[in-house]
Amino acid sequence: MVPTRFAVAAHILLMVATDSGEASTSQRLASSINTNPVVIRRITGQLARAGLVRVRRGPGGAELTRAAGAITLEDVWLAVNSGSARPLLPLHANPDPRCPVGCRVHAVLGEAFGTAERALEHALARTTLEDLLQGVAEPAA
């Protein structure tokens, strides 16, 4: 199962971008995302280390470090997945090396999965936070 921290990180950034005059505190963000403020602080810390937000301790909350149009989903993806040695599409362990399929399956799947992951990153690079904000501004159906 793919962790949801990427979706939570995007939600955090959308909240921070739309909060005008109201502090984007971990409590406020946690309420919108329906999770624990500790989860918000951990993910916001990753976004801050990636240079996407600036966090003020206490009631100050978070703010974007650059315009929403200059933050891509790829930036968010890399922020919450950097340092992870595990690929998005991991291979299964220990196929039988004596099997005609098992001896080659990692090479074949590894190449295909790597191509898919690169395609995902390229697609994420084409969507900005500003693009997503337009959808958030639309009235709910």
**20 or 73: which carries more pLDDT confidence?**
73
Instruction: Quote the pLDDT of residue 73.
Output: 97
Distance CA 62, CA 21 (A): 12
Per-residue pLDDT tens over the stretch 33-82: 999 999 999 999 999 999 999 998 777 789 999 999 999 999 999 999 87
41 lies in some domain:
yes
Indicate which CATH number applies to the domain containing 41. Answer: 1.10.10.10
Would you say 65 and 53 are in contact if contact means Cβ atoms under 8 Å apart?
Answer: yes
95 lies in some domain:
no
112 lies in some domain:
no
67 lies in some domain:
yes
Alpha-carbon distances of 42 from 45, 67, 111, rounded to whole Å: 5, 23, 33
59 lies in some domain:
yes
Mean pLDDT computed over 7-16: 96
Q: What is the pTM of this model?
A: 0.84
120 lies in some domain:
no
Distance CA 70, CA 102 (A): 45
17 lies in some domain:
yes
Range from 27-31, 89-93, 125-129 that averages highest in pLDDT:
125-129
Range of the domain at 53: 5-85+127-137
Per-residue pLDDT tens over the stretch 101-131: 999 999 999 999 999 989 999 999 999 999 9
Distance CA 59, CA 80 (A): 24
Instruction: Quote the pLDDT of residue 1.
Output: 42
Query: Helix or strand or coil: residue 24?
Result: strand
When divided into structural domains, the chain yields a total of 1
12 lies in some domain:
yes
Residue keyed to tokens 């978070």 = 62
Distance CA 133, CA 123 (A): 17
Would you say 19 and 25 are in contact if contact means Cβ atoms under 8 Å apart?
Answer: no
Instruction: Quote the pLDDT of residue 2.
Output: 56
